[in-house]
Chain A
Amino acid sequence: MLFTLAAASLIRHRTRTLLAILGVAVSAAMLLDMVMLSSGLRESFRGLLQTQGFQLRVAPKGTLPFDTDATIRNADSLLALVRARPGVIAVSPVLGGQLHVPTATGAVTSSVLGIIPRVEGDYEVLAGRQPAAPDEMVANQRLLDALRLQLGDTLRGAAGYDAQLRSLSGERTLRIVGIARFIYMAADQKGAAVPIETLRRMQGADSDDKVSIAMIRLAAGVNVDSERVAIERLLPRVTVISIAEALNQVDQRLSYFRQLAVILGSVSLVVGFLLVTTLVTVSVNERVGEIAVMRAIGVHRRRIVLQIVMESGAMMLVAAPLGLLLGLVTARYLNSILARFPGVPAKLDFFLFQPSAAWTALGLLALSGVLAGVYPSWRSASLPIALTLRQEAVG
């Protein structure tokens, strides 16, 4: 009976119902996106840090990995100490630098990483293989495209370039043996990797025995935090960062994002709430006569509220999946835009779909939809009955 009445009132105003559903779906989508944004970047970053299975990162004291040009000196002997620890499976040193490749029109400049191919954790080889000899390298597609080179080609690259003198330093012939995708590089960034000894030699005597960072893989069951403290004690001139610590740092830097997401999310929730309240108020005001009649023949106030909440609930039920779909589509679109931002790792997602996020968003919305129905319906069910009937009879 209540159901029939609720359905009838929704169907009687088909267009209005549809528009309301669309409106709620849009605000649901917005809310979902904001919930996805607020936690997505962090979760995605965590995933990124975890992909290669290195739990700890060693950086020059007081810096974050690749935060500055600072490097760790005497790295090889220091890292040997780390490698000797029983809980450590592998240590992967990385030296950052630039690779300048002269071309007919000038020079192409790319980021280059010096790594140990056997333990590196910075890229995936998409085609070809890892460097096996000192004069072998991998490059990403961006760099190959810029140089119009292919797998198997050789190039002449330099570690230093003086723009004024137009002179290169540390030149070397390298053969491209693999095409790689660099995990921490931006989509538009040109990248290459060579064995760390090769890069050191190219950079000159100054770079001997240096690394920018090193990544440490621990054996299963090793307590990450106590190992971190132990290594830091072992190497007083470095900072050792666990994934949790790195995420903390990221959190601090991203708090702006999260605040934005929380504010915009709340706004869309409020908009959805107001939308449903408006609709319910309009639809209830149209029916004050009908409601007064129901009250006069003995229908309880709570039943009238229930009927109207059922109406808004039904709209929510349709709007929610629609909003979910819409939210996912827009999130994907926005992600693809943001991924093109300079300096953003291509694999980083700003909007990460997590079922819990979806439930949070839809739950909040459903709750607000129900609450939105309660007040106007309770108010109209509380109007003085005789007076309302008289006014309706006149009007």
Chain B
Amino acid sequence: MSTVVDVRDLVRDYPMGEERVAALRGVSFQVDAGDYVAIVGPSGCGKSTLLNLLGVIDRPTSGTVSINGERVERLSDARATEFRLMRIGFVFQRFYLMQALSARENVELPLAEAGLVGAARRARAMALLEYVGLAKRERHRPSQLSGGEQQRVAIARALANAPALLLADEPTGELDARTGREMIALFERLNADGTTIVVVTHDEDLARAAKRVIHMRDGSIVGDERAR
């Protein structure tokens, strides 16, 4: 089984005046293709910091990050952007959809950036909306959708260019329990269909649904257990 994520001795400091806040103090782990990992731990322990480094939207102070066999921690801006576009899917706690675009257009955005045009792009966006159960909402604006629906659109957007890795930071954080459970089911289905997932969460139900749970505390990994 191939390795999708390979992180070694990852350190991330934030300068705070004279001091430096150590958000990550040397983290190492691997994630295999097809795995479904939940990262849990108390607030401020460095979960989001870690996820941002995996998503290539931040740079480590030291250590290495390999995704799909490619070292990404020192890529140029253009290469990093291309990498995010084609290899990473990112789902945020607050959905972060473009308010001016319809559900379908939001999904089309990364497809357009990847160079897909016209009918092919529309068809792919529709297929993705179908997959997350929102085909009927293609013309709705984010403001006309419920939180759960917006998060589904965001997931469809994250999957647009068939990423090697799906990252989600508290994807159920803004949702009620029932909608959260729907989201958990969707993630399980995604994983069953072959998507490698790393999710940061406080949601115990979501963590329980994952195949593997990494526990963090104070910038370090303190536990790593395989559920089933």
Contacts and interface: CB of A to CB of B under 8 A. Distances in A.
A289, A382, A389, A393 — which one has the most chain B CB atoms within 10 A of its CB? Answer: A389
A318 interface: no
Interface string A267-296: 000000000000000000000011001111
Given A298-B84, A301-B81, A303-B113, A386 B100 contact: no
B90 interface: yes
Nearest to A295: B81
B98 interface: yes
Contacts of B105: 1, 4
Contacts of B58: 384-387
A8 B100 contact: yes
Nearest to B57: A385
A300 B96 contact: no
A297 B158 contact: yes
Contact of A300 (B55, B78, B86, B92): B78
B52 interface: yes
Interface in A346-395: 382, 384-387, 389-390, 393
Contact of B52 (A294, A295, A300, A386): A386
A52 interface: no
A390 B158 CA distance: 19
Interface string B79-107: 00111111010101110101111000100
Nearest to B160: A297
Nearest to B55: A296
Nearest to B96: A293
A297 B85 CA distance: 6
A298 B85 contact: yes
Contacts of B92: 293, 389
Interface string A329-359: 0000000000000000000000000000000
B214 interface: no
Interface residues of B, number: 34
A390 B52 CA distance: 10
Interface residues of A, number: 26
Contacts of B49: 386
A382 B112 CA distance: 21
Contacts of A296: 55, 57, 84, 90, 96
A384 B56 CA distance: 11
Given A5-B101, A9-B100, A300 B112 contact: no
Nearest to A11: B100
A250 interface: no
A393 B161 CA distance: 26
A297 B90 contact: yes
Contacts of A229: none
B43 to A, nearest CB: 13
Nearest to B14: A387
A64 to B, nearest CB: 65
Interface of B: 48-49, 52, 55, 57-58, 77-78, 81-86, 88, 90, 92-94, 96, 98-101, 105, 108-110, 112-114, 157-158, 161
Interface of A: 1, 4-5, 8-9, 12, 289-290, 293-301, 303, 382, 384-387, 389-390, 393
11 contacts: A1-B108, A1-B112, A9-B100, A293-B98, A294-B109, A297-B84, A297-B90, A297-B158, A298-B84, A385-B57, A386-B49
